[in-house]
């Protein structure tokens, strides 16, 4: 089964707007099925803690899930690379808040000395590499090739979003990341530990670090989110 998960009900509802044959029931539970096809939805909650707990709880009662796809909106660190309304596929999820913080940049997990899990080459410190192309291996569900205008970039997961452009730029520079979100690493980490395939597709709603209204466009982000099924799913 393929599970689509997002932080909020609103994101899931927009994602399903144009999807044919999907019985989306208004807040009657976290899980809704697409008729006759092994697909499901989960509102995991906002932030890394809610995301990890929400997905872990769902998987405990749905062992048939073999791929999780995180969809939703996110902030861009560079509007030349990821303009408002664009679609980004995460090539990695990074958690810059884990470790020892010695300055304004991300924490250093190796200075702490304890990986999140694993040892040696299998250790996970604060980064999980992702391969968006693995979606194409599920030929019964996804298009054989991903849209060429979807942008590939690493993503940062934070519990506290960037509140200034200076903070955002420092994170983007030191982590070589293109977008900022609040759930992706937690979801990828749960899937990694359970041996479940994971991918992340986000639409850009704002310039990370900016509080100016000209750098925010929810309408464009949600419109792009609503258009995802037609571009990624067979018979979407």
The pLDDT value recorded for residue 36 is 53
Q: How do residues 24-52 score in pLDDT, each as one tens digit?
A: 554 434 445 555 567 888 999 999 999 99
Instruction: Residue 6: name the closest of 202, 236, 220 by CA.
Output: 202
pTM equals 0.93
Give the integer Cα–Cα distance in Å for 138 and 155. 23
Largest CA distance in the chain: 53
The domains located in the chain, with CATH, are 2-232 (3.40.50.1580)
DSSP-based three-state secondary structure for 107: coil
Q: CB under 8 Å to 149, separation ≥6 — which residues?
A: 86, 87
Q: Which residue has the higher pLDDT, 23 or 53?
A: 53
């Amino acid at each position: 089964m393929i599970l689509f998960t997002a932080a909020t009900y609103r994101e899931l509802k927009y994602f399903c707007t144009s999807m044919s044959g999907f019985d989306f029931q208004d807040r009657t539970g976290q899980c809704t099925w697409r008729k006759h096809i092994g697909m499901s939805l989960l509102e995991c909650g906002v932030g890394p803690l809610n995301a990890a707990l929400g997905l872990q709880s769902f998987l405990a009662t749905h062992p048939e899930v073999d791929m999780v796809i995180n969809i939703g909106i996110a902030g861009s660190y560079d509007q030349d690379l990821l303009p408002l309304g664009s679609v980004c596929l995460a090539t990695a999820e990074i958690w810059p808040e884990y470790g020892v913080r010695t300055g304004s940049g991300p924490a250093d997990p190796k200075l702490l000395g304890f990986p999140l899990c694993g040892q040696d080459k299998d250790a996970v410190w604060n980064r999980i590499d992702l391969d968006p192309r693995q979606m194409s291996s599920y030929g019964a569900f996804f298009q054989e090739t991903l849209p060429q205008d979807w942008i590939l970039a690493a993503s940062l997961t934070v519990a506290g979003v960037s509140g200034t452009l200076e903070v955002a730029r420092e994170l983007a520079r030191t982590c070589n990341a293109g977008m900022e979100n609040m759930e992706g690493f937690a979801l990828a980490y749960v899937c990694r530990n359970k041996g479940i395939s994971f991918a992340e597709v986000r639409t850009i709603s704002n310039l990370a670090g900016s509080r100016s209204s000209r750098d925010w466009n929810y309408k464009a982000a949600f419109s792009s989110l609503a258009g995802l099924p037609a571009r990624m799913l067979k018979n979407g």
